[in-house]
Structure 1
Amino acid sequence: MDTPAHDHHPPTPAQRALDALAVNTEDQAALDTLAHSDVLVPVPDDEVDGEGADTSMLALPVLEQADGDPVVPVFTSEGTMAEQLPFVSRYRLVPLGALAAQWPDEDLSLAIDGSSQHGLTLTSQGVRTLLAR
Structure 2
Amino acid sequence: METPANNHRPTPAQRALDVLVENAEDTAALDALADSEVLVPVPEDTSEEDATDPGTVTLPVLEQPDGEPVVPVFTSELEMAGLLPFVSRYRLVPLGALAAHWPADDLSLTIDGSSAHRLTLTSEGVRTLLARP
Tell me whether the two structures share a fold, i.e. TM-score over 0.5: yes
TM-score (norm 1): 0.90
Where do residues 96-115 of structure 1 align in structure 2 (5 Å cutoff)?
96-115=95-114
Partner-residue secondary structure (3-state), 2:56: coil
d(CA) in 1 for partners of 2:96 and 2:119? 15
Residue type of the partner of 2:11? Answer: T
Counterpart AA for 1:81: M
Relative to structure 1, is the Cα distance of residues 98 and 35 closer, same or farther in structure 2, using a 3 angstrom cutoff?
same
- Residues 45-96 of structure 1, C-alpha deviation per residue, up to 9 Å, x if partnerless? 3322139x74411110000011100000000001100111011011000000
Alpha-carbon distance in structure 2 between the residues aligned to 1:66 and 1:45: 21
Question: What SS does structure 2 have at the residue aligned with 1:50?
Answer: helix
Aligned residue runs from structure 1 range 49-64, under 5 A: 49-50=48-49, 54-64=53-63
Counterpart in the other structure of 2:17: 18
Alpha-carbon RMSD: 2.1
Change in CA separation of 1:87 and 1:11 when aligned onto 2, cut-off 3 Å: same
Residue by residue over 1:87-118, the C-alpha shift from the partner in whole angstroms, topping out at 9 and shown as x without a partner, is 10110000000000000000000000012112
- Asked if 1 retains the 8 angstrom alpha-carbon contact of 2:110 and 2:119, the reply is yes
Distance 1:33 1:66, change over 3 A: same
Number of residue pairs the alignment of both structures matches? 131
State the percentage of identical aligned residues.
72
Change (3 A) 1:58 1:31: same
Q: Does 1:47 align with 2:46?
A: yes
Aligned-partner Cα distance in 2 for 1:93–1:16: 18
Match runs of 1:1-133 below 5 Å: 8-50=7-49, 54-133=53-132
| TM-score using structure 2 length | 0.90
Q: Secondary structure at the match of 2:44?
A: coil
Rounded Cα–Cα distance in structure 2 between residues aligned with 1:57 and 1:116: 28
Amino acid at match of 1:50: E
SS in 2 for 1:71: strand
